[in-house]
């Protein structure tokens, strides 16, 4: 089911003037790590934090917003995303150092931040090299790997709330939990300050190489995939439950449970977002039947399925 004809361009006319870029019916599949998903009704790339704030202050209250980064932990459904999708620009890529503190924009890539810290002899941010995303996503998900989490190094974060007001947030304000924070979903993170410790650049380099090697050995990093599909239950590892339920290599359409690491879903080349989501639900069902444990999605699923014609009509699409 595809959307081939567009109608009702009214949303763009309702939006305020900006210095950044609007793109109507932007192809999000090409931005997605899974290489699936429908379009954004409107994609907005703000010129800077002031432009973002002005947009959020002036846009109609009933227009929904969705924030995306590198999409490494996101599954965009085939019907696309209604409303405005916000993706930060290079203006949010900055990384600045002050002693052992690292101040960075929310669009800075995690691995780049860890590399800059390493070059300055700042220890403690090595785990970021194993997280395939941006700082904004790390804040939103309390991203972690190899024994450390974002909350372990955060001093404070900045965000623009749903009304366009700038907020400065302490680590306590974030309400961090396992792969979670309590900040409202319509707030857009714009930056963060982290604290490391003084370290030996050679030892930091060795640790980062170990992390990259472990990730490449154990995860399907060369495939069209995302991050870990399911959160680890409190007393178990998700991959072990999936393995025990005999889901390794399980398929649905063009989607497959990775044979390298069974807590990853893979687009083998022809998958739709529905294939991936339905496969994930099959895995959850089989794990529940085998162990009595219900896995929670860690990957965020956004947008609408094409089975919902009303949602497609809202986006100005006519189905064929």
What are the phi and psi torsion angles at 235 (to 5°)? -115, 10
Phi-psi region of 254 (alpha: psi -120 to 50; beta: other; left: phi over 0): alpha
Instruction: Give the model's pLDDT for residue 317.
Output: 46
Instruction: Give the model's pLDDT for residue 313.
Output: 45
* CB neighbour class for 316 (10 Å; exposed up to 12, middle 13-18, buried from 19): buried
Identify whether the C-beta of residue 146 lies closer than 8 Å to the C-beta of residue 127.
Answer: yes
> Alpha-carbon distance 298 to 231, whole Å?
5
Buried b (16+ CB within 10 A) or exposed e, 58-78: ebeeeeebbbbbbbbbbbbbb
What are the DSSP calls for 76-121, one per residue?
E-TT-EEEEEEE--GGG--EEEETTEEEEETTSBHHHHHHHHHHTT
Question: Bridge partners of 180?
Answer: 177
Catalytic member of 87, 179, 207, 284 = 179
Neighbours of 284 (CB within 10 A): 21
> Alpha-carbon distance 308 to 10, whole Å?
21
The yes-or-no answer on residue 228 being catalytic is: yes
Both tokens of 235, joined, read 């007393």
Instruction: Give the model's pLDDT for residue 9.
Output: 66
Task: List, in order of start, the domains of the chain with CATH numbers.
Answer: 3-90 (3.30.43.10), 93-216 (3.30.465.10), 228-298 (3.90.78.10)
Per-residue pLDDT of the chain (320 residues; tens, 9 = 90+): 333 334 456 899 999 999 999 999 999 999 999 999 999 999 999 999 999 999 999 999 999 999 999 999 999 999 999 999 999 999 999 999 999 999 999 999 999 999 999 999 999 999 999 998 999 999 999 999 889 999 999 999 999 999 999 999 999 999 999 999 999 999 999 999 999 999 999 999 999 999 999 999 888 888 899 989 999 998 899 999 999 999 999 999 999 999 999 999 999 999 999 999 999 999 999 999 999 999 999 999 999 988 654 444 455 443 32
DSSP state of 313: H
Instruction: Give the model's pLDDT for residue 154.
Output: 98
The yes-or-no answer on residue 298 being catalytic is: yes
Beta strands in 10-73 (DSSP E): 21-26, 40-45, 65-68
Identify whether the C-beta of residue 91 lies closer than 8 Å to the C-beta of residue 105.
Answer: yes
Catalytic member of 126, 149, 277, 298 = 298
> Alpha-carbon distance 257 to 243, whole Å?
10
Both tokens of 87, joined, read 């993706």
Both tokens of 173, joined, read 């304000």
Catalytic member of 228, 277, 284, 305 = 228
SS3 301: strand
Tokens 């895995």 -> residue: 283
Q: What is the CA radius of gyration of the chain?
A: 20
Both tokens of 134, joined, read 């941006």
DSSP state of 7: -
Instruction: Give the model's pLDDT for residue 222.
Output: 85
What are the DSSP calls for 133-188, one per residue?
SBHHHHHHHT-EETTEEGGGTEEEEEEE-TTS-EEEEEHHHHT-BTTB--S-TT-E
Tokens 């090595």 -> residue: 126
Instruction: Give the model's pLDDT for residue 221.
Output: 83
């Amino acid at each position: 089911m595809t959307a081939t004809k567009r109608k009702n361009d009214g949303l763009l006319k309702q939006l305020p003037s900006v210095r950044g870029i609007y793109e109507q019916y932007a192809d999000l599949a090409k931005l997605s790590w899974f290489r699936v998903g429908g379009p954004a009704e409107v994609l907005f790339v703000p010129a800077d934090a002031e432009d973002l704030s002005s947009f959020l202050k002036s846009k109609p209250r009933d227009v929904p917003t969705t924030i995306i980064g590198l999409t490494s932990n996101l599954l965009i459904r085939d019907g696309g995303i209604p409303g405005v999708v916000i993706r930060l620009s290079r203006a949010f890529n900055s990384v600045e150092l002050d002693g052992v503190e690292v101040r960075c924009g929310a669009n800075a890539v995690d691995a780049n931040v860890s590399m800059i810290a390493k070059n300055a002899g700042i220890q403690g941010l090595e785990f970021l090299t194993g997280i395939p995303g941006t700082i904004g996503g790390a804040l939103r998900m309390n991203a972690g790997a190899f024994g450390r989490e974002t909350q372990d190094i955060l001093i404070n974060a900045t965000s623009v709330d749903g009304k366009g007001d700038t907020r400065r947030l302490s680590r306590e304000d974030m309400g961090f939990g396992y792969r979670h924070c309590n900040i409202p979903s319509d707030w857009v993170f714009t930056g963060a300050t982290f604290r490391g410790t003084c370290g030996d650049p050679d030892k930091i380099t060795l640790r980062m190489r170990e992390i990259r090697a472990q990730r490449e050995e154990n995860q399907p990093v060369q495939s069209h995939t995302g991050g870990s599909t399911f959160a680890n239950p409190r007393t178990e590892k998700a991959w072990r439950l999936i393995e025990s339920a005999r889901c390794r290599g399980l398929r649905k359409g063009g989607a497959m449970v990775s044979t390298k690491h069974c807590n990853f879903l893979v687009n083998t080349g022809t998958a739709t977002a529905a294939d991936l989501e339905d496969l994930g639900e099959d895995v959850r069902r089989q794990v529940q039947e085998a162990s009595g444990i219900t896995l929670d999605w860690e990957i965020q699923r956004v947008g609408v399925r094409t089975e919902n014609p009303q949602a497609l009509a809202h986006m100005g699409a006519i189905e064929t």
